[in-house]
Amino acid sequence: MSTRIFRAEQAVYLPEDAETGTRPVLGPVTVVIDGEIIVSVTPGLTSDIHAGHDAEIIDVPADQVLIPGLVDTHVHVNEPGRTEWEGFSSVTRAAASGGVTTLLDMPLNSIPSTVTVAALDEKQAVAKEKVKVNVGFWGGAVPENLGTGDLKALWDRGVFGFKCFLLHSGVDEFAPLSTEQLHQAMTEIAEFDGLLIVHAEDGDIIDEATAHVDAAGGVDETFDSFLASRPSASEAKAIATVIAAAEETGCRAHILHLSDSGSIDQIAAAQERGVRITAETCPHYLSLFSEEIQNGATQYKCCPPIRTAGNRERLWKGLVDGVIGTVVSDHSPCTAELKRFAEVAEAQASAHENNELTAFAALAAKGNDLGAGGADHRGSGGSFGTAWGGIGAVELGLPVVWSQARLRGLGITDVVRWMCQNPAEWAGLTDRGAIQVGRRADLAQVSADDAFVVLPENLNQRNKVTAYAQRALAGVVTRSYIGGETVYVRPATPQTPAAAGEPGDLAVFPADVRPFTLRPSSDAQ
């Protein structure tokens, strides 16, 4: 078994006897890793470690912080079925380059949806030879699989829980649950003490709001028209429905991608009276705000929508107060065409290539690059009514949140709690998410005071449309490790990352594929 010793002047770690929920500390540390597991964490830099003469010593540069790898519990991989949006190969490379060492794949947008064991098998067969970081899976709860035994069968196969919608999901093959079916699902899932994760927007309120917007001309290229069609009241009502069902059934429930800060109080009140409910929010809700979104800038469309600057600040308060426990990406990209980036799609067609880089190059040649100086808020004239909703940024989560956190006087230790430690503990992956004795050596190095500018063409995600084009972000991820082994090395000079499997790829992403991550107590282990 190989031994590695990390010596870091700055590391975010947990003392040996720290209990669950303890805040990590920042300081110099020496970490010894045997195989894939951390076996000692000693404050200070020491060479006095009895590790044998063949131990590999890794000195983390003084300007970099050694942190646990991120655990991103909300990623839409889309393969198989919509692989042109994203796939296991590209998404896991993107994750590694953003310090994400474990990601959990959402059950929908791929075809089939992960609602039966057969569908899980199909997905895993496709993913098996491609995943470069730890990947686990969520199942889905849909009307068709309630009461069939599919949920328990998926649970026994190691899924982390079940996702459901309370309104149209955006794809026809993943149907929403009625309030009655929500209760039914929770009753069923509570029997094996599983977890239901909910896209909490209320369809009736959105239908009503949309009818008003339609009467005034419909959702168009203005963000205001889109925002008016998805009011915060729809989140508030759906969350109340979930809380009531969780309270009645005793099922563990979770609010996905909270955008409405007005709902924080009802979640806090439910938590205080013992309802088993948790909530997450996402980097885009903590950084972007509706007032800055220009006409046609459909790169900012997601559901629930990005709301006001004031709302953003109240989300930060909910996070600091601990009502919102985790920050995860909700990485949900699609093609430029579906984002109604008409010119990108046109350039792509005229280049006769299914390659977005070519399309971006063509736009740049026209002086119409999506990224041309300053944060790029411009869109392409696309309609918020017809563009696909979703923001792809799995590799930017850490720098986006860290850039905003430091502006508010918060520390890198806070970011580690929200993006590493808490999501790991919440998902039941207590073997990771912190630098602590006994946990996995899934790590990242981040140059916290260094900055970079987001150039879409340099992203590792499959499609390059991003809400962060040309934004300067603090926190450069320089290396990622899984089980102590290097899985990402930031190229020394800025360059377009090599495509998967091309020469150069091995220098940036040196590791082999990983086995899937299963829920620890599942029978499949």
Question: Which positions lie near Zn ion, rule CB under 5 A?
Answer: 330
> Sheet harboring 134-137: ordered strands across?
70-75, 100-105, 134-137
Phi, psi of 32 (to 5 degrees): -105, 130
Q: Which is nearer to Zn ion, 201 or 414 (CB)?
A: 201
The helix or strand, by DSSP H or E, that contains position 67, with its residue range, turns out to be strand 56-68
- Residue 332, C-beta contacts closer than 8 angstroms, at least 6 positions apart: 76, 106, 109, 302, 389, 390, 391, 392
Beta carbon of residue 332, minimum distance to Zn ion (angstroms, whole number): 5
Q: Which is nearer to Zn ion, 173 or 457 (CB)?
A: 173
Beta carbon of residue 104, minimum distance to Zn ion (angstroms, whole number): 11
Q: Which is nearer to Zn ion, 13 or 226 (CB)?
A: 226
> Sheet harboring 162-165: ordered strands across?
139-140, 162-165, 195-199, 252-255, 277-281, 326-327
What does the alpha-carbon distance between residue 443 and residue 477 come to, in Å, rounded to a whole number? 11
Token pair, residue 242, equals: 């979930």
Q: What angle do CA 466, 468, 470 make, to 5 degrees?
A: 110
Are β-strands 56-68 and 443-453 bridged in parallel, bridged antiparallel, or unpaired? antiparallel
Q: Is 105 helix (H, G, I), strand (E, B) or coil?
A: strand
User: Which residue is it, tokens 């646990």?
Assistant: 68
Q: Which is nearer to Zn ion, 333 or 497 (CB)?
A: 333
Beta carbon of residue 344, minimum distance to Zn ion (angstroms, whole number): 23
Token pair, residue 441, equals: 């050596």
Q: Which is nearer to Zn ion, 360 or 468 (CB)?
A: 468
Q: Which is nearer to Zn ion, 171 or 240 (CB)?
A: 171
Residue 171 CA to its chain's centroid (Å): 20
Q: Which is nearer to Zn ion, 30 or 78 (CB)?
A: 78
Please answer whether residues 127 and 86 qualify as being in contact, where contact means their C-beta atoms are separated by less than 8 angstroms: no
Token pair, residue 510, equals: 């040196």
Please answer whether residues 486 and 517 qualify as being in contact, where contact means their C-beta atoms are separated by less than 8 angstroms: no
Beta carbon of residue 200, minimum distance to Zn ion (angstroms, whole number): 12
What are the residues facing 443 on neighbouring strands?
Answer: 68, 481
Beta carbon of residue 98, minimum distance to Zn ion (angstroms, whole number): 17
Q: Closest CB to Zn ion belongs to which residue?
A: 330
The helix or strand, by DSSP H or E, that contains position 165, with its residue range, turns out to be strand 162-165
Q: Which is nearer to Zn ion, 242 or 370 (CB)?
A: 242
What does the alpha-carbon distance between residue 410 and residue 51 come to, in Å, rounded to a whole number? 36
Q: Which is nearer to Zn ion, 7 or 163 (CB)?
A: 163
Q: Which is nearer to Zn ion, 330 or 356 (CB)?
A: 330
- Residue 524, C-beta contacts closer than 8 angstroms, at least 6 positions apart: 156, 157, 158, 518
Beta carbon of residue 108, minimum distance to Zn ion (angstroms, whole number): 8
The helix or strand, by DSSP H or E, that contains position 400, with its residue range, turns out to be helix 397-407
Beta carbon of residue 40, minimum distance to Zn ion (angstroms, whole number): 38
Beta carbon of residue 302, minimum distance to Zn ion (angstroms, whole number): 8
What does the alpha-carbon distance between residue 340 and residue 439 come to, in Å, rounded to a whole number? 44
Please answer whether residues 253 and 299 qualify as being in contact, where contact means their C-beta atoms are separated by less than 8 angstroms: no
Beta carbon of residue 303, minimum distance to Zn ion (angstroms, whole number): 9
Q: Which is nearer to Zn ion, 330 or 376 (CB)?
A: 330
Rg of the chain (C-alpha set)? 22
Beta carbon of residue 419, minimum distance to Zn ion (angstroms, whole number): 16
Beta carbon of residue 74, minimum distance to Zn ion (angstroms, whole number): 6
